[in-house]
Amino acid sequence: MVMRFEWRTSLCAADFPATAYETLRLHVADHTPFNHLGWLCAAEQALEKNQCLHVLLGWEAEALRLCLPLVSSRERFAGVPFRVLRHLGYPLADRLALLSLLGAEGMRDALMLIRQRLPHALLQLNELSEPAGEESALTDWMARSSTAERRLSCRVPVHLISDADQQEVSGDPRYKLRRARKRIAACGAQVRRITPDALSMPTVLQALQEVESVSWKGDEGVGIFATDHSRQWIQNAFTALAAQGLVRVVILELDGRCISYRLGLLEQGRLYDYNLAFLPQHADLGSGRVLLEEWIRWGLDEQWHWIDASRVSLENSSHQLHERMTGQLEHWRWSFYSWRPSGLLLGLGLRLWYCVKPALQKWRAQRAGKPKAANTCATQPATSSTTPGLAPRRAS
């Protein structure tokens, strides 16, 4: 059947084929709430002035087979501006599925259209999850790029809810959880579950924002409410998803005030643990672990299947779900450098960086090890530092 492609400039337009989009989304394996049209429309509404949205749709007869919303902007690498395309939702979308049911030939045609319509140096798709054991539709794009990279973004711990969760967790987590519960009971705080709707969501978000703003996330500017841009996005996105019944919140309240929370998205029996924060004066309560346990208890009550850490850092992740995980999911970042002079230059820069990076890391490790050796024993060898992982876009 002949493919038909078309370009749109908005997902929010009244004539956008929302029904066909939802049919496509539900047919794509591993789709997430961050592929939901409500989330993406909120991301579109939060675009900055220097960003433009271009949506590529692919049709077979009346069936939508591809929807790829790309944001075009200029980003600086080593101080030099380059034209970059990214999937709409970056950087607040924690996990995305590529909404495509096209075969290899259709994807090749899509890439050619993108290059013709949107000249760029780099096309980068972040946080893509892929079905285990299946070849990605993007693999062919790598051979058609001047430089290409498929890089692991993170390994996300997941917990399969089972009858075993009816019993108290074993090992060290049991004692940590018991201590946290005792501290919480001693101060009189209480755990509460919330399923907000579109009307109550703004009030709930305001309470969560007040907690984050005085937490370490607020101090370091890494939270989901850190900027006007992200606040608008989160407000619109979670209100839209709450209208669909997809939002869940567990909070710890003291004297009617939220002192700690976990914010999540629930779809098809999978809870995505998206964000958490707590008041610094109550940091010793260990509330995060108790609220994570509440997720699991809630899941048992309502027959959820999975609790996921929505996203974690690639290395040295401190997410508490690592203590309870039964498996992991991988997120990937795909980077495709064009054959334009700017793409060739940027791709060359990437290759040079990978040549220089090991030597630079070795030099930094040696430099960091010298003072340590001097302060301990002259004969003790310097300890090499661990290669740092990718910095998270926001702290989980």
For the segment 284-316, what is each residue's pLDDT rounded down to a tens digit? Answer: 999 999 999 999 999 999 999 999 999 998 888
The answer on pLDDT for 380 being more than 60 is: no
Taking residues 169-179, report their average pLDDT: 90
Phi, psi at 181, each rounded to 5° = -65, -40
Q: What percent of the chain stands above pLDDT 90?
A: 81
Taking residues 62-72, report their average pLDDT: 97
7 — pLDDT class (breaks 50, 70, 90) = very high
Stated pTM of the model: 0.88
373 — pLDDT class (breaks 50, 70, 90) = very low
Please give the residue that has the higher pLDDT: either 170 or 99. 99
For the segment 318-367, what is each residue's pLDDT rounded down to a tens digit? Answer: 899 999 999 999 999 999 999 999 999 999 999 998 898 888 888 888 88
Spelled out in words, what is the top-level CATH class assigned to the domain 162-304? Answer: alpha beta
For the segment 98-132, what is each residue's pLDDT rounded down to a tens digit? Answer: 999 999 999 999 999 999 999 999 999 999 998 76
**Which pLDDT score, from 0 to 100, does residue 394 have?**
53
The answer on pLDDT for 388 being more than 60 is: no
Kindly report the CATH number that applies to the domain delimited by 3-155+331-351: 3.40.630
Which CA distances in Å does 341 have to 83, 96, 346? 12, 30, 9
For the segment 36-47, what is each residue's pLDDT rounded down to a tens digit? Answer: 999 999 999 999
For the segment 191-229, what is each residue's pLDDT rounded down to a tens digit? Answer: 999 999 999 999 999 999 999 999 999 999 999 999 988
In the chain, the DSSP E strands lie at: 3-8, 52-60, 63-77, 80-87, 122-128, 147-160, 190-194, 247-254, 257-267, 270-278, 306-309, 327-337
The answer on pLDDT for 249 being more than 90 is: yes
317 — pLDDT class (breaks 50, 70, 90) = confident
231 — pLDDT class (breaks 50, 70, 90) = very high
Domain boundaries for CATH 3.40.630.30 within the chain:
162-304
Strand order in the sheet with 147-160: 3-8, 52-60, 63-77, 80-87, 122-128, 327-337, 147-160, 306-309, 270-278, 257-267, 247-254, 190-194
